[in-house]
Amino acid sequence: MARAMHKLSARFVATATEAGRHGDGAGLYLSISPNGGRRWTFLFRQNGKLREMGLGSARDVSLAKARERAQAARDLLADGQDPLAVKRTEPVAEPERPNFGAFADSLVASLVEGFSNPKHRQQWTNTLTTYAVPLRDKALDEISTTDILEILQPLWQTKPETASRLRGRIERILSAAKAKGLISSPWENPARWRGHLDQLLSKRQRLTRGRHAALDYDQISGFVAKLRARSSLASLALEFTILTAGRTGEVLGAQWREIDLAKTLWTVPAGRMKARREHRVPLAKRACDILSELAALRPEGDDGSSYVFPGLKSGRPLSGMSMEMLLRRMGRPDITVHGFRSTFRDWAAECTPFANEVCESALAHTIGNKAEAAYRRGDLFEKRRALMSAWSDYCDESAAGNVIQIRRG
């Protein structure tokens, strides 16, 4: 009676976790070890002895390919040959080594999962696909210093920040390839800076952030007044960003579950913070008024997972470019959303008696002094509440409780 074959499915192979042998029929097995290792084996009898032949890792060898290899072994047995002996005489094929482009894509895909800011994820992809094109088809161990210089030199003075980040990303990709054994020794990273490219490239012009990148604090109340004259979701988002001194990603990613209007508190979870630490934001009255108005956009029966600033697409937040585009429409392309954090910091330093650590904590900056960080347990919340209330008053000393009809813009 013929033995049943092809008992396993591709889905089972992909999802099975139970340790042991799972038979596909006619001697082919998916073997799962107690520690989760998965491999294909072929069991056969020869001269009365049960023997086992490995057919490769289930991670690299598909079910269809494993069946082909098992059938080849059965054919050898039918011809009176020993499959294991034949396998030992076959030349060992060199493992296929990915080129720079393929390895970079796979590494970036794993790295960006840990980035809280979608903009940073996009920047990694964009710089490598836009500027590192000449490297993509090259073998990892064939990339030379000359190749790196040909990419960096056209950018080094015209786009210094982009060039610097690109160099660092290329260096990290090549170092990761070396760590995975894809580049053999002896080898030195051709994209390294210290003691190598710093000897070959001129001192780059550092990115300067002049007065126009951030609004002067003595202009903030006039700007906020113009902002409140606009009836758009983007204008409310920008005002809320200014009043909380938050980052774009933190504000636009805010969900209703993070908001406690009764306690006038916004708690940003660690996973969405740059420093990977939970950040409690005290909400001044105007910030709470904005949230109360936005409640009109909250879906009925929401469990708290909806976005405070919803986008046009269901289940998505407002676009990350919405506030930058608003600044352009207001005729202020010379300032940035992030620059309002500098505006707040300058005001706090120049116009208030609040201590430096209170101001820095309001910006969710980490403490540079390790000894000081080790001893500070609190987050200076009540002092920050007074600071943010004073900032809100400074942004608008006259208006109170303006009601804005919201439109999605």
pLDDT digits (tens, 9 = 90+) for 219-233: 999 999 999 999 899
Q: What token pair was written down for 10?
A: 């591709």
Spatial strand order of the sheet with 20-25 comes to 20-25, 28-32, 38-46, 49-57
Q: Between residues 402 and 17, which one has the greater pLDDT?
A: 17
294 shares its domain with 163: no
- Backbone dihedral angles phi then psi of residue 255, each to the nearest 5 degrees: -115, 160
pLDDT of residue 301: 87
pLDDT band at 402 (very low <50, low <70, confident <90, very high): very low
Q: Is the dihedral of CA 110, 113, 114, 115 positive or negative?
A: positive
Supply the DSSP symbol for 98: P
Query: Domain check: are 294 and 364 in the same one?
Result: yes
160-179 and 100-111 helices, crossing angle to 10°: 100
Phi first, then psi: give them for residue 22, nearest 5 degrees.
-120, 110
Note whether 382 and 245 are same-domain residues: yes
pLDDT confidence of 149, banded at 50, 70, 90?
very high
Q: What is the pLDDT of residues 201-212, one digit of tens each?
A: 887 554 444 444
Is the same domain home to 30 and 135?
Answer: no
d(CA 396, CA 84): 82
User: Which pLDDT score, from 0 to 100, does residue 108 have?
Assistant: 86
Q: Are 317 and 252 in contact (CB under 8 A)?
A: yes
Tell me: do 131 and 225 sit in the same domain: no
Query: Which has the higher per-residue pLDDT, 401 or 290?
Result: 290
Q: What is the pLDDT of residue 245?
A: 93
Residues 283, 162 within the same domain: no
pLDDT of residue 265: 95
Asked if residues 215 and 237 have their Cβ atoms less than 8 Å apart, the reply is: no
Share of the chain above pLDDT 90, in %: 45
Averaged pLDDT for residues 79-102 = 79
**pLDDT-derived band at 374, boundaries 50, 70, 90:** very low
Within-domain flag for 314: yes
- Is pLDDT larger for residue 288 or for residue 404? 288
Question: In whole angstroms, what is the distance from residue 107 CA to residue 395 CA?
Answer: 44
Q: Which residue has the higher pLDDT, 186 or 310?
A: 310
Residue 206 lies in a domain: no
Tens digits of residue pLDDT in 21-52: 999 998 999 998 887 778 999 999 888 888 89
Instruction: Single out the residue in 146, 172, 199 at which a domain terminates.
Output: 199
Query: How far apart are the C-alpha atoms of 320 and 119, rounded to whole Å?
Result: 8
pTM: 0.53
pLDDT computed for residue 260 by the predictor: 94
Q: What is the pLDDT of residue 395?
A: 94
Q: What per-residue confidence (pLDDT) applies to 118? A: 67
Q: Is pLDDT of 78 > 50?
A: yes
**What is the rounded distance in angstroms from the CA atom of residue 248 to the CA atom of residue 296?**
22
pLDDT averaged over every residue in the chain: 85
Residue 325 CA to residue 45 CA, distance in Å, equals 72
CB contact at 8 A, 332 and 233: no
Residue 384 has pLDDT above 50, yes or no: yes
Q: 28: which strand partners?
A: 25, 42
Q: Are residues 364 and 301 part of one domain?
A: yes
Spatial distance between the Cα atoms of 70 and 27, rounded to a whole number of angstroms: 8
**Tokens 């904590």 label which residue?**
361
Q: Which of 65, 89, 113 is where one domain is finished?
A: 89
Please, which residues have CB within 8 angstroms of residue 63's CB and are 6 or more apart in sequence?
Answer: 8, 9, 10, 13, 24
> Closest Cα partner for 120 from 262, 265, 292, 248?
248
188 and 239 share one domain: no
Q: What is the dihedral of CA 341, 347, 352, 356, to 10 degrees?
A: 40
Who has greater pLDDT, 238 or 89?
A: 238
Residue 70 and residue 108 in one domain: no
Strand order in the sheet with 265-268: 259-260, 265-268, 279-282
CATH number for the domain that contains residue 275: 1.10.443
For residue 225, CA distances in Å to 219, 230, 332, 333 come to 10, 9, 14, 18
Boundary-marking domain end, from 89, 113, 128? 89
Strands 265-268 and 259-260: antiparallel
Domain co-membership, 80 together with 104: no
Predicted local distance difference test score (pLDDT) of residue 315: 86
Residue 205 located in a structural domain: no
Confidence (pLDDT) at 157 = 83
pLDDT at site 373: 47
Q: Which residue has the tokens 């608008």?
A: 396
Is residue 210 domain-resident?
Answer: no
pLDDT in tens, 107-145: 888 887 666 666 677 788 888 888 999 999 998 989 999
**What is the extent of the structural domain holding 17?**
10-89
Residues 224 and 368 in one domain: yes
Sequence-distant (6+) residues with CB within 8 A of 194 are none
How does pLDDT run across 168-198, given as a tens digit for each residue? 999 999 999 998 888 887 889 999 999 999 9
The string of DSSP letters for 291-324 reads: HHHHGGGSPTT--S-SBSSB-SSTT-BPPTTHHH
Residue with the bigger pLDDT between 14 and 369: it is 14
In a domain, 2, yes or no: no
Q: How confident is the model at residue 369 (pLDDT cuts 50, 70, 90)?
A: low
Q: Is the pLDDT of residue 96 over 80?
A: no
Give me the mean pLDDT over the 239-251 stretch. 94
Say yes or no to pLDDT of 362 above 70: yes
Regarding whether 84 and 118 lie in a shared domain, the answer is no
Residue of 201, 246, 267 lying closest to 343 (CA atoms): 246
Q: How confident is the model at residue 307 (pLDDT cuts 50, 70, 90)?
A: very high
CA of residue 215 relative to chain centroid, distance: 29
Domain count, the chain: 3
Radius of gyration of the chain (CA): 30
At residue 94, the pLDDT reads 57
Give domain status of residue 337, yes or no: yes
Report residue 95's pLDDT band, with 50, 70 and 90 as the boundaries: low
Do the domain assignments include residue 123?
yes
57 belongs to a structural domain: yes
